[in-house]
Structure 1
Amino acid sequence: MDRGDDDGGGGDEVAATAAPPTDVPAERTARMRRERRKAQKKKKAPPAVDHQPNVMSELPFALASSAAWEQLGFTRTESTQKKRKRKRGDSGGRVDSEEEEEKKKKKKQKESQRPNYFVSIPITNAQISAAVVEVQEAVLQQEPRLVKAMIPAPTLHITLLVTHLANQEQVGLAATALDKAMPSLAELLVGRDLVLPFSGVGHFRKEVVFVGLAPGQHRDTLEKLAEVLRRCFEEQGLLQGDSRGFEPHLTIMKLSKAPKLRSQGLKRVNPDFYSSYTDRFFGDQRVERVDLCSMLKKKQQDGYYHTESSLQLVYM
C-alpha cells in the first residue's frame, strides 16, 4: 500500500512537469502562425535596393545594344533620344543640321528644274486615234490594271522638246521662241506638206509603249524641225543642258502614269499583249501646227493639254 501510494504520487508529479501541454491558448497559436508567414515572405521577397534595376544589364551582352533592344519590340522614349543627341555635342549637331539642310536644298532645286512644259505636234487624224484606242482596249482585255497607264486619245501628240519654265515671264519668252522659229520652218518646208505616217507598235524597256514613225524623208524633215525649235529656245535661255536625243514616236501607254502598279508587281508591259499590232498601219498625220503645252495646268475642254501658244505652219 505504501509503495503503491508513493509510486502513484511520484508519477503524477512527473507527468505534470515533463508532458507537453495539451491545451495551448488560441492567442499563442495565432501568433506562431503569423510569425511563420512573415518568415516565409522574407525568404521569397527580393532584396531591397535604393534605385530602379537596370533592365538592360540583365540581357546577354549580344543584346545589350539599343538596336537589339529595339528589335525585341521596345522603343526608346523621346527623352532618351534627346539625351543621346545632346551627348553628340553641339558641333556634331550643327554638322548634321547643315547636311540635312543641304540635302533639302538640292532636292528642292532639282524639283524646281523638272520639266513642266513641252512643245508638241498634236494628233488630229481621227483614224490614228481610233486605231490607238483599239490597241489599248486589246491590252486591257488581258491586263485591266493597265487602264491608268493609258494615254487618253484626245492628248495624243509627238513631243519635240521639253523644258522648265519658272514663271509667266519665261512662258512669254517660250512663245516668242516659237514665233522666231517660223521663218526657218517655212524655209525648211518650202511649200511641201509634212506628213507623218504611223506604223507598228514598239516599246522602251517594256515600260513605254508607242506607235512608231515609218522610215522615210519625213523623218529627216521632222528632226530638222525639232532642231530649229531647240535652237530658238536656247537663244531665249530656256533650254540649258537639254542634250537628250530626238526619237520621234507616239506614246500610247506608259507605266510612269500609274506608279502604284509597280508595288502590285506590274513592272513591265508584256509585248504579247499587243503583238498582233506590231505591223499595223495607223494612218497619216499632216503637221498643221506646233503647240507650247503645260504638263501641270488643267486640260482644255477638248481634252488636250493646256496650250499657252501655237504656231500655225504656213506651207508657201
Structure 2
Amino acid sequence: FVAVRVRSEHAHNTLRDVHAVLPPELAAACVPASGAHITLAVMHADGQEGVEAALSAVRRVAGRVRAQRNGRAGVQARLRGLGHFRARVLFLRLERGDSAEQRLRELHEALHEELTGVDKIGLAHTRFAPHVTIAKHSRMSGRRARRAPPLTPPESHANVDAGEVSFVELELCSMTMRKQADGYYHVFGSGELGGVDET
C-alpha cells in the first residue's frame, strides 16, 4: 500500500489516549500508534517485479507533483476529531474544511492513474476518505469481532485535537512483511514530496 506516515509524537500520544478510554474488550482492535498513517492506495504487487514497478510509479507521482509545486509538494494537515465507519472502524479525521484533504485526494487520484494497468500490480479501487485508523474490528478474531462493542467515538474524546502533521514523502509499504524496529510497516522505498508550502 502507499501511505503518508504520521510521525508526530503528539498525534501518537493522542491515539494512545483514545485507546486507553475504549472498553477493555476492544484492546485487540487497537492499531498501534507507531503504525499511524493515511492510506492513499492499496494494491497487490506480484513478486519483486511488481514491487519495483509500484515503487517506480510512486516516485514518478512524487516527482511530478513536486515539480508542479516548485519543490514544495508536502502536505500540512491538522488532525482533529473522531469518526467511524459503520461502527467497525474508529478513526482520527482531518479537521473539517482543511485544504489538506483536497491535496491528499489529488495524490490519491494521481497514484491510481499511474498504477492502473501496470503489469504485475493489482490495484484495489475503494472510495477515498482520508483518515488515521485508531481501532478496527477486523484486527480481532471472527467470534470476538462479532461480539465486540461498536467502535464509536468516546464522548470524552470526540473532538480530540492531535495537532498539526506534515507529510513530505509517499511510502510504499507492506501489510504482510515484518514491521520495522520502530513499529512502523516495512517500507520498500519512498518518493519525496519536498517541503510544505506555508502560503
TM-score calculated relative to the size of structure 2: 0.89
- Give the C-alpha shift of residue 242 in structure 1: 3.6
Correspondence list, 1:212-227, <5 A: 212-214=93-95, 215-227=97-109
* Deviation by residue 1:221-273 (Cα, 9 ceiling, x = unmatched): 1110111111111252466564322110010000000024135x2252254xx
Q: Please point out which of 15, 18, 24 is paired with 1:135.
A: 18
Structure 2: how far apart are the matches of 1:176 and 1:243?
Answer: 20
Structure 1: how far apart are the matches of 2:18 and 2:135?
Answer: 10
Pick closer, same or farther for the CA change 1:212–1:270 going to 2, 3 Å.
closer
Q: Please point out which of 287, 290, 300 is paired with 2:180.
A: 300
Pick closer, same or farther for the CA change 1:126–1:183 going to 2, 3 Å.
same
SS at match of 1:246: coil
1:180 aligns with 2:60: yes
Structure 1: how far apart are the matches of 2:148 and 2:57?
Answer: 41
Kept in 1, the 8 Å contact 2:74–2:193? The answer is no
Structure 1: how far apart are the matches of 2:65 and 2:120?
Answer: 19
Kept in 2, the 8 Å contact 1:233–1:239? The answer is yes
Percent sequence identity over aligned pairs = 28
- Give the C-alpha shift of residue 219 in structure 1: 1.2
- Give the C-alpha shift of residue 183 in structure 1: 2.8
Structure 2: how far apart are the matches of 1:224 and 1:310?
Answer: 18
Q: What residue is the counterpart of 1:312 in the other structure? A: 192
Larger radius of gyration: 1
More moved, 234-243 vs 223-232: 234-243
- Give the C-alpha shift of residue 216 in structure 1: 2.3
1:199 aligns with 2:88: no
Structure 1: how far apart are the matches of 2:156 and 2:169?
Answer: 32
Structure 1: runs of 5 or more not aligned = 1-117
- Which runs of structure 1 show a deviation greater than 4 angstroms over 4 or more consecutive aligned residues? 238-241
Q: What residue is the counterpart of 2:145 in the other structure? A: 262
SS at match of 2:162: strand
Q: What residue is the counterpart of 1:126 in the other structure? A: 9
TM-score calculated relative to the size of structure 1: 0.57
Structure 1: how far apart are the matches of 2:62 and 2:145?
Answer: 43
> RMSD over aligned Cα, in angstroms?
1.9
Structure 2: how far apart are the matches of 1:202 and 1:305?
Answer: 24
SS at match of 1:216: coil
